[in-house]
Structure 1
Amino acid sequence: MAQHDEVDTSAEHRTTTIEQGRFCMARCICGWRGPARRARSLARADAEGHGQGG
């Protein structure tokens, strides 16, 4: 079962992290998706970087 962890970065980019099996990835309502990561902290960092324009 996938688990979601929302990271509020800005009004334009609302990101979440989603766990699928051993991997975690960041997604945004704008359609952006981060790479699959084994560490949740890296997926969260991807989400924060996306929300900041990076």
Structure 2
Amino acid sequence: MSAQEDPATAAEHRTTTVEQGRFCAARCSCGWRGPARRARSKARSDAAEHTAHP
């Protein structure tokens, strides 16, 4: 079983998006923070990329 398939490892990486004025940023429960983006969709894709390749 790889690290991506392990439920305990996946639970450690819970991502959310946070509004910061005109910008939106992705954040993860592991402490990772994505760059501030003007497009929410880009912040969500940053979060998805992080979750896929922590």
Is TM > 0.5 for Structure 1 vs Structure 2?
yes
What is the TM-score normalised by the length of structure 2?
A: 0.78
Give 1 or 2 for the bigger CA radius of gyration. Answer: 2
Give the root-mean-square deviation of aligned CA atoms. 1.1
Structure 2 residue ranges without an equivalent (≥5): 1-9
- Partner residue, 1:45: 45
Gaps of 5+ in 1: 1-9
Report sequence identity in percent: 73
Provide the C-alpha distance between the structure 1 equivalents of 2:20 and 2:35, rounded to a whole number of angstroms: 12
Kindly state the Cα deviation for residue 11 of structure 1 after the two structures are TM-superposed.
Answer: 1.6
Secondary structure at 1:11's aligned position in 2? helix
Superposed CA deviations along residues 14-44 of structure 1, whole A, max 9, x for unmatched, are 0000001000000000000000000000000
- Which structure has more strand as a fraction of its residues? 1
Give the whole-Å Cα distance in 2 for the aligned partners of 1:30 and 1:49.
14
